[in-house]
Structure 1
Amino acid sequence: MENANRGYERLFGDDGLTVGATFPLTSARTTRPNVGRELALTERLEALGFDGLWARDVPTDWPKFDDTGQTFDPWTWLSRVAARTDDVALGTASVVLTLRHPLHVAKQAASLDHLSEGRLVLGVASGDRPPEYEAFGVAEDERGAAFRESVEVLRAAWRDAHPEVETRWGTLDGTLDVVPKPTAGDLPLLVTGNSRQSREWIAAHGDGWLFYHLPEDALRSYLDDWNERTAAPFVTTCTVDLAGDPEADPEHVNQGFRAGAAWFRDYFRELDAWGVDHVIVGVRGDDRERAYERVAERVLDRL
């Protein structure tokens, strides 16, 4: 990405794997995370050297899905986080573009970009909860096209003064402008999953690809294909559950592994060698602060 903002530079500006964490930091399944504890742990993770903090966009709570995200709206929440941090990148993982008007997204994102002094990186997605499309009046079978057109509007709103663009979302005929413009002239977009798009489209229109945790063979296949198409970064996720025995072999857990610190150090080195640029980690257990400290001390600091 040309003229990259501070957040993008923090995550991808140097060679080597960077590591972030995802909200909620204090508990994965709580209905409403404790704000004070979340913010305190946010500051602690920045001090421990984590490179990114990622907020999810879950507009509605669908009990069948059993996942409310971090509950709070990502724009509101990351504005609060921006005020409590200095250098860590702030990411969305991911804004559901099909359920939000792109002009609102353009203004909200550019505003947060300024409030965080250029640290915002936008993961964007087409959504994965079927009842939400009906609730928001969106045709589920048209979400792929709606996603593409939303990206078109975002780029025009950020890059152009008095933009001209016509999509299903409406018409901009040059009379209106969208302000503020991003601090770096544009904002980085990381397409999440496939978002109903071809890999050719993702490589051509995204500033990176954010994919969920994958088995090794699938991940390496995706990386080989991606790196043949573009030099843009690749981001993945991993649950890190450190075993008491530092030499313990891996066991699969939801979206990651339970293993000893030695195995995780080797695994993260392999991710780096395969071409992963950033990994978003989550931890397990009741004492999340101590879990993140152990990851930082026993894995990240020894890579």
Structure 2
Amino acid sequence: MSNRSLSPLSLFRDGHLTLGVTLPIRETELSSVDFMQQVELATAAEQLGFSAVWVRDVPLNGPWYPETFGHPDPMVILGAIAARTSHIALGTAATVLTLRHPLHIAKAAISLDHLSHGRFVLGLGSGDRRQEFTAFEADSANRKELYRNHWSRLAAALEQPPRILLPLPDPAAAFELRPAAVTDIPMLAVGSGGQTLEWIARNAAGWATYHRPPQVQRDRYMLWRRAVDRASPGQFRSFTVALRVELLNDPRAPAGPIELGYRTGARQFLEILEAMRDDGVHHVMLTLLPSRIPPREKLAAVADLVLPGLK
């Protein structure tokens, strides 16, 4: 059992909603990803007042994957962003826990914890693309069990001091993970990973899920609250939503639904976020979809017209 949680005074606070941005941000559907531009956009997000920068973990592309552009390795680019920023939270959304060795993840997470002076948040997913499991010589049919096993080993390695859990005891060998983390690195479950909400509430600092229509999302939040009350009574566990937004030039443009999000002007976007906050959402991982607005201008528009209303 884990009691990992973020302080209510930091990224996740009960009764409040903070807004983070997910990289990469592209200008058009045909744009490739300039990694250094993404670092610059992350520093701009900090200057504009966003609470977090999130980076996805997409190891491989192929005809079976809908996105044709290449993604940066999340740990590498977050290291570059950590060196250029001072207070914005940095997170993975989500590291594919089933396809990476938990000790490698722990070493990278602890390194980012040191580089960022305690700003790193470790989002963890189980992976849902069968082709990637084949490439990594893993069995997608076992991903639920693999997720739980890797989570336990990773959580132990992130303790202070770290504990190294071996599949089989080896009396001839002793292992240490140095240095230890600076802080208690939050582990978020991104998606369910094939686990029950009670398991997530018991083991994770919070749960991140995709956008759903408002009534469906309210129901999911209530399910989460009941799971937290059963599995971790009295503990704070955050609720995060990953939201896709196509921001329109006209800030007064009305909102309309798209897959996993909205097409909207900035003013109605604020109303959407306020309603999400009232429904119990603590944080939004914002994906700004390609549009005619340059990425830096999109960030500035959200910062100018949306962020002040969330304070």
Instruction: Tell me the TM-score normalised to structure 1 length.
Output: 0.90
Q: CA deviation at 1:160?
A: 5.7
- Report what 1:217 is aligned to: 215
- Report what 1:288 is aligned to: 295
- Which structure is richer in relative contact order (CA contacts within 8 A, separation 6 or more)? 2
Q: CA deviation at 1:147?
A: 0.5
Is the CA contact 1:161–1:177 (under 8 Å) kept in the aligned structure 2? no
Q: CA deviation at 1:29?
A: 5.2
- Report what 1:114 is aligned to: 114
Q: CA deviation at 1:40?
A: 2.0
Is the CA contact 1:31–1:71 (under 8 Å) kept in the aligned structure 2? no
- Report what 1:178 is aligned to: 177
Is the CA contact 1:55–1:70 (under 8 Å) kept in the aligned structure 2? no
1:143 and 2:143 matched = yes
Q: 261, 266, 276: which one pairs with 1:261?
A: 266
Alignment CA distance shift 1:78-1:164 (3 Å) = closer
Aligned CA-pair RMSD: 2.4
Is the CA contact 1:23–1:56 (under 8 Å) kept in the aligned structure 2? yes
- Partner deviation per Cα, 1:188-228 (whole Å, 9 max, x = no partner): 11111111111111111111001111111221111011112
1:297 and 2:295 matched = no
Alignment CA distance shift 1:102-1:172 (3 Å) = farther
The secondary structure found in structure 2 opposite 1:72 is: coil
1:275 and 2:273 matched = no
Is the CA contact 1:82–1:115 (under 8 Å) kept in the aligned structure 2? yes
Is the CA contact 2:5–2:237 (under 8 Å) kept in the aligned structure 1? no
Equivalent residues in 2 for 1:24-173, closer than 5 Å? 24-27=24-27, 32-67=32-67, 71-159=71-159, 161=161, 163=163, 165-167=165-167
Q: CA deviation at 1:63?
A: 2.6
Structure 1: unaligned runs, 5 residues or longer: none
* Number of equivalenced pairs: 299
In 1, Cα distance between equivalents of 2:70 and 2:62: 14
The percent of aligned pairs where both chains have the same amino acid is 35
Q: CA deviation at 1:261?
A: 3.0
Alignment CA distance shift 1:9-1:117 (3 Å) = farther
Q: CA deviation at 1:51?
A: 0.3
Alignment CA distance shift 1:217-1:113 (3 Å) = same
The aligned amino acid for 1:268 is L
Q: Pick which of 290-299 and 258-267 moved more.
A: 258-267
Equivalent residues in 2 for 1:14-33, closer than 5 Å? 15-27=15-27, 32-33=32-33
Is the CA contact 2:4–2:186 (under 8 Å) kept in the aligned structure 1? no
The aligned amino acid for 1:289 is R
Instruction: Tell me the TM-score normalised to structure 2 length.
Output: 0.88
